[in-house]
Amino acid sequence: MCKNDLHKLLKSILKEDSIFVDEPMNSHISFKVGGPADFLVRPTTEEEIQKVFKLAIDNNIPFFVKGNGSNILIKDGGFRGLVIEIADNFSDYHVEGNTITVQTGALLSIIGKEAMNANLTGFEFASGIPGSLGGALAMNAGAYGGEMKNIVKSVRMINAKGEIVEYTNEDMKFGYRHSVLTDEKMIAITAVIELEKGNFDEIKEKMRDLAHQRRTKQPLEYPSAGSTFKRPEGYFAGKLIQDSDLKGVSVGGAQVSEKHSGFVINYDNATATDIVNLIDHVKEKVYDVHGVKLEEEVKILGED
């Protein structure tokens, strides 16, 4: 389908100010790099998400769904197809008892604050992760001993047929940085988070402590996608990288963080190519030294 035809179809579903043509992706991902997407759309209702998703599926249009863009790397050539952004345009929530029902564009930090204000504990681990609920569900985000699988009661999804279906926690097939969303073409639209009653001051203190740990141990002052590599079974990626004498190594403007070797950062106006080449170099060196194959956690998309 040509771009003009796709644009007309998108305009039949969305308001004009929700459609962005040849949109630079460096302002939409946390690495702050990446070429333009043919189209980026920001639907604001479940119906709009359904229709855009079905349009892409029925017409075999390349697409991906992004939230806050904190775990994505778009290559310098950009993305030929459709980016469906579910972020602050779809981020309502409702607290009732010990549950929070949340649209998947909501930031984890916002959910964490609402949980604290409602004296609900169990979400502290996620409150400092710089991503949206949708991304956290897809990757079963975890930190400091907690994982999404421990607090998700149910998720409403749009399947490849455009139907809205409800998945239980078990249906989500949560695993390490994995869920049914990483295997199948589906979009999560809302989730019910089930927490426990707690003490406001204790929750606040725990969130403050975890935030301090992040600031002191992670290179938050530089653009990145968080932990760049998955944890290999029996190892820690950061230690493998450090023990391979890769801490501080750079390619162009990309660098292995000197604060935390598990982070590849945009240190000095890096290109996406710099970052990809550094990731490849790290993987090769770690395999040469330790015989361990690292797998990137960040999702790399687009054209060179």
- Structural domains of the chain in order of their starting residue, each with its CATH number: 3-85 (3.30.43.10), 93-217 (3.30.465.10), 237-301 (3.90.78.10)
Q: Provide the phi-psi class of 14: left if phi over 0, else alpha when psi is between -120 and 50, else beta.
A: beta
Annotated active-site residue 208? The verdict is no
Mean pLDDT of the region 39-56: 96
Full-model pTM: 0.92
Query: Which of the following is catalytic: 46, 194, 258, 297?
Result: 297
pLDDT at 235 over 90: yes
Mean pLDDT of the region 64-79: 95
pLDDT of 144 reads 86
Mind listing the pLDDT tens digit for each residue in 236-255?
A: 999 999 999 999 999 999 99
Mean pLDDT of the region 93-109: 97
Mind listing the pLDDT tens digit for each residue in 155-212?
A: 999 998 889 999 999 999 999 989 999 989 999 999 999 999 999 999 999 999 999 9
Annotated active-site residue 179? The verdict is no
Annotated active-site residue 297? The verdict is yes
pLDDT at 36 over 80: yes
pLDDT of 118 reads 97
pLDDT of 298 reads 94
| Residue partners of 73: CB distance under 8 A and separation at least 6 | 29, 31, 33, 34, 225, 272, 275, 276, 298, 299, 300, 301
pLDDT at 1 over 80: no
Query: Which of the following is catalytic: 23, 91, 177, 224?
Result: 177
Task: List alpha helices for 131-251, DSSP H.
Answer: 133-139, 200-217, 237-243
- The mean of the pLDDT values for the chain is 95
Give the whole-angstrom CA distance, residue 240 versus residue 134: 30
**In this structure, which amino acid lies at residue 125?**
F
Query: Which of the following is catalytic: 91, 154, 224, 227?
Result: 227
Mean pLDDT of the region 131-153: 93
